[in-house]
């Protein structure tokens, strides 16, 4: 606020002085202009003194000498003009660097403040500070565990995503060590405290965040990097002009022209322009310093859950008894899951809805904390839950079934379905890669980021497939908040490093990074508070976009400085030669300043590295074709199920005939529409000789396979030897399934960028 008041004062003094001069009162005008310039000089002097005490000199030294010299030599108008540029530059810089964060208030707000302590038969509400080791605490549903301790119930379910990054709730048995900060996702349970609240896990996260934020050195202003050399050059030139001619006005003219307003103004203007353009894309950058640091980033560390992955479990694969079928098993599991609020249950219900399955209403549904859910559906007794839940009921999972599920579960967890006392299906749950994540990683590489690392508190088995799919340089799994800071500092020692995360467990690393980038749309307030950049759109591809904007803004700022100071250098030569008076020099410097500012404002326009192809027109039908992909993925599953159903007899022919009809009714019309409208326009947007040729070639191969499947089915129906037809039919079905899945993935990757949005799930 003080800087804005100073700017207002200078403007008032300039206007008043100009009015007095026009009214024929030059002496009063001089006093008004001096009164406008001297407070700026005092302000600059204080800042210069602080800089000198800090062991550095700023370019403001030239401005201070110019204002004082102009007043001393009777050039008050020049002093006021210089004061205007200095005050205006500082006001603009204050706006660009305005405080956008508090003292981690949101993170503090999440910390538990009250706890329920069990005393005999009563429950007493106490402050968390009163918790002592050995206290028996009651943690109710939805409450945060207030202190580290041991579980004194048979089971408890905790959402520890804030601590570990693991998206799936964790189940603990009696005697398990529980950490503070986890949220009770099940019934109330008792906890025996091992430590007081101040020594527990969540309190440590708070301290880590605060310490890491305090340890980060502030960024020196861009202008000050050339301060010593520029000040020395200006001093030598002005002193030389004075000594050579004996005219102090020449020295003053050099100082006036040398007033480094392009240095003071151009960088803030360019950075503010970048901040504004980023904001329009849902990217909040907390000041010009953060934007400048972001522009220098060469290494990026990503959290997993909620950052590179959506953070919500989804159904990745199903293994079911052939007599029941995958859809039949999913229908039963989703039916009983309707009686549960567990995230896995919600994922099963969503998967059934996506396939259009009609779910019956379950009877006698009961949820067992930390285990699963039981009930009756269509007269069958069902159990849905973890393997241990089924074992507890005496249900054995057959060896072959268990091996298949174990292989699939390497990257996820398994929910088992038992029907009438027998395991009949396994549902593999996973938290897959965000649709836009591969493009985001590739664009970071294109922008010159040399190293991309996944650092997560999740299990290595869950993290490794993510790193492999995205072709990351390293995967660091099972990392605590302290481990993340250690990894971050190791990377920062080699190159400027950014950390991207969304959870409370990421907040310390976000604060410690050169640049912390928080997924603020779906992440925690703690991450948003600790980060230098906050993404208000829940899309990780905004990370490379923010980096591109930052780099362009910094590049424009540097060019504006070089051009502005180059012209100032030429003007300084004219002033030293006596061709510019102090007031004329001030006006010339104003023109240079205007040029530097106008050039800096070009940061409002995207650069070449940011230019995105024009979006597809509605007539191309991208949205409609992309929406059909969900049905085609279901068709791919039907192809696989049909191939697996082929046995020694033609019993599967009716089902296979239905699959073949779907190929004719769904796949082939979809491909024809793509080639008619979507691909021609996409080819024009993508450029090159024939960019969509691979997609069309895959269309042709799929059409040939579909025709082959139809022919084989007609041969089988006509009575040809089934033993000869069956192997060929199985191979064709599996080949078409694999090619269809690959085609959908490749097409989405190619076209999503020019469509302007991430492809539909």
Q: Report pLDDT for 144.
A: 84
Q: Report pLDDT for 711.
A: 92
Q: How confident is the model at residue 102 (pLDDT cuts 50, 70, 90)?
A: very low
Asked if pLDDT for residue 327 goes beyond 70, the answer is: yes
Domain spanning 618-755: which superfamily?
nmb1532 protein domain like (1.20.120.520)
Q: Report pLDDT for 736.
A: 95
b/e burial code for range 104-119 (CB count within 10 A of at least 16 → b): bebbbebbbeebbbbe
Catalytic residue at 303?
Answer: yes
Q: Where are the domains of the chain?
A: 111-214, 314-430, 618-755
Q: How far is Cα 83 from Cα 73, in angstroms, rounded to an integer?
A: 16
Q: How far is Cα 759 from Cα 747, in angstroms, rounded to an integer?
A: 10
- The yes or no reply on domain 111-214 and CATH 2.70.150.10 is yes
pTM: 0.65
Query: Per-residue pLDDT tens for 657-711?
Result: 999 999 999 999 999 999 998 998 888 888 777 888 999 999 999 999 999 999 9
Task: Identify the top-confidence range among 114-118, 157-161, 267-271, 307-311.
Answer: 114-118
Average pLDDT over residues 470-475: 90
Q: Is 483 exposed, middle or buried (0-12, 13-18, 19+ CB in 10 A)?
A: middle
Name the token pair of 57: 């000199």
Q: How far is Cα 165 from Cα 487, in angstroms, rounded to an integer?
A: 16
Instruction: Write down the residue that tokens 């997993």 correspond to.
Output: 304
At residue 531, what are phi and psi to the nearest 5 degrees?
Answer: -80, 155
* Residue ranges with strand state E in 226-379: 283-285, 299-302, 314-320, 363-368, 372-377
> Of the residues 60, 148, 196, 303, which is catalytic?
303
Average pLDDT over residues 535-539: 76
Q: How confident is the model at residue 454 (pLDDT cuts 50, 70, 90)?
A: very high
Of 634, 750, 734, whose CA–CA distance to 688 is shortest? 750
Q: Do domains 111-214 and 314-430 have the same CATH topology?
A: no
Helix or strand run (H / E) with residue 451 = strand 451-455
At residue 458, what are phi and psi to the nearest 5 degrees?
Answer: -75, 170
Does residue 285 contact residue 294 with C-beta atoms inside 8 Å?
yes
Give the HSE-up count for residue 616: Cα atoms under 13 Å, Cβ half-sphere: 26
Average pLDDT over residues 417-434: 84
Asked if pLDDT for residue 213 goes beyond 50, the answer is: no
Q: How confident is the model at residue 208 (pLDDT cuts 50, 70, 90)?
A: very low
Percent of the chain with pLDDT over 90: 17
Query: Per-residue pLDDT tens for 334-375?
Result: 999 988 877 788 889 988 988 888 898 888 888 876 678 899
Task: Identify the top-confidence range among 285-294, 568-577, 728-737.
Answer: 728-737
Supply the mean pLDDT for the chain.
80
Q: Report pLDDT for 543.
A: 93
Q: Report pLDDT for 336.
A: 92
Domain spanning 314-430: which superfamily?
Calcium-transporting ATPase, cytoplasmic domain N (3.40.1110.10)
């Amino acid at each position: 606020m003080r800087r804005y008041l100073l700017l207002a004062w200078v403007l008032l003094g300039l206007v008043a002085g100009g009015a007095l001069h026009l009214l024929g009162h030059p002496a009063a005008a001089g006093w008004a202009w001096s009164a406008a310039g001297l407070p700026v000089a005092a302000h600059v002097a204080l800042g210069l003194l602080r800089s000198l005490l800090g062991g550095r000199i700023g370019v403001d030294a030239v401005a201070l000498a110019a204002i004082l010299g102009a007043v001393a030599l009777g050039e008050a108008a020049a002093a006021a003009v210089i004061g205007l540029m200095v005050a205006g530059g500082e006001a603009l810089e204050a706006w660009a660097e305005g405080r956008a964060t508090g003292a981690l208030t949101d993170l503090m707000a999440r910390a538990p403040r009250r706890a329920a302590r069990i005393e005999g038969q009563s429950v007493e509400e106490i402050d968390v500070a009163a918790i002592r080791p050995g206290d028996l605490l009651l943690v109710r549903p939805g409450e945060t565990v207030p202190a580290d301790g041991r579980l004194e119930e048979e089971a408890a379910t905790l959402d520890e995503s804030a601590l570990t990054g693991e998206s799936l709730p964790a189940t603990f048995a009696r005697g398990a060590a529980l950490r503070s900060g986890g949220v009770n996702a099940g019934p109330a349970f008792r906890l025996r405290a091992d430590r007081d609240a101040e020594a527990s896990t969540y309190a440590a996260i708070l301290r880590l965040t605060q310490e890491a934020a305090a340890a980060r050195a502030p960024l020196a202003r861009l202008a000050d990097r050339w301060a010593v050399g520029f000040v020395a050059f200006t001093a030598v030139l002005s002193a030389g002009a004075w000594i050579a001619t004996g005219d102090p006005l020449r020295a003053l003219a050099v100082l006036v022209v040398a007033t480094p307003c392009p240095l003071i103004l151009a960088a803030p203007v360019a950075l503010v322009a970048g901040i504004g353009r980023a904001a329009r894309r849902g990217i909040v950058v907390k000041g010009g310093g953060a934007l400048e640091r972001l522009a220098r980033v060469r290494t990026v560390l990503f959290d997993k859950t909620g950052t590179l992955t959506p953070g919500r479990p989804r159904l990745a694969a199903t293994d079911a008894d052939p007599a029941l079928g995958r859809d039949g098993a999913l229908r039963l599991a989703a039916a009983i899951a309707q009686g549960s609020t567990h995230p896995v249950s919600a994922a099963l219900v969503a998967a059934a809805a996506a396939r259009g399955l009609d779910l019956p209403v379950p009877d006698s549904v009961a949820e067992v904390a930390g285990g699963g859910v039981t009930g009756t559906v269509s007269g069958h007794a069902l159990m849905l839950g973890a393997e241990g839940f089924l074992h507890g009921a005496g249900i054995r999972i057959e060896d072959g079934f268990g091996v298949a599920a174990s292989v699939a579960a390497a990257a996820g967890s398994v929910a088992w379905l038992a029907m009438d006392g027998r395991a009949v299906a396994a549902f593999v749950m996973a938290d897959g890669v965000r649709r836009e994540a591969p493009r985001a990683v590739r664009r970071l590489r294109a922008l010159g980021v040399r190293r991309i690392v996944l650092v997560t508190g999740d299990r290595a088995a869950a993290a490794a497939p993510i790193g492999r799919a995205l072709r990351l340089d390293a995967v660091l799994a099972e990392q605590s908040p302290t481990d993340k800071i250690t990894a971050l500092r190791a990377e920062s020692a080699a190159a400027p490093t950014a950390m991207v995360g969304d959870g409370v467990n990421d907040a310390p690393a976000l604060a410690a990074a050169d640049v912390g980038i928080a997924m603020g749309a779906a992440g925690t307030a703690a991450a948003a508070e600790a980060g230098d950049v906050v993404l208000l759109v829940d899309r990780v591809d905004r990370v490379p976009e923010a980096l591109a904007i930052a780099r362009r803004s910094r590049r424009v700022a540097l060019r504006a400085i070089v051009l502005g100071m180059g012209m100032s250098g030429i003007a300084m030569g004219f002033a030293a030669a006596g061709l510019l008076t102090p007031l004329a020099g001030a006006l010339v410097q104003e023109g240079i300043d205007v040029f530097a500012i106008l050039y800096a404002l070009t940061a409002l326009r995207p650069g070449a590295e940011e230019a995105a192809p024009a979006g597809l027109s509605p007539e191309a039908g991208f949205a409609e074709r992309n929406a059909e992909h969900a049905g085609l993925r279901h068709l791919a599953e039907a192809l696989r199920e049909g191939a697996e159903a082929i046995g020694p007899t033609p019993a599967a022919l009716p089902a296979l005939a239905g699959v073949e009809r779907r190929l004719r009714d769904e796949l082939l019309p979809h491909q024809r529409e793509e080639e008619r409208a979507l691909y021609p326009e996409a080819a024009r947007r993508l450029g090159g000789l024939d960019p969509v040729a691979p997609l069309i070639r895959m269309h042709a191969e799929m059409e040939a396979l579909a025709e082959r499947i139809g022919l084989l089915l007609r041969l089988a129906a006509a009575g040809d030897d089934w033993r000869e037809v069956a192997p060929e039919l199985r191979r064709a079905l599996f080949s078409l399934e694999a090619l269809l899945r690959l085609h959908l993935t490749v097409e989405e990757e190619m076209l999503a960028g020019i469509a302007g949005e991430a492809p539909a799930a």
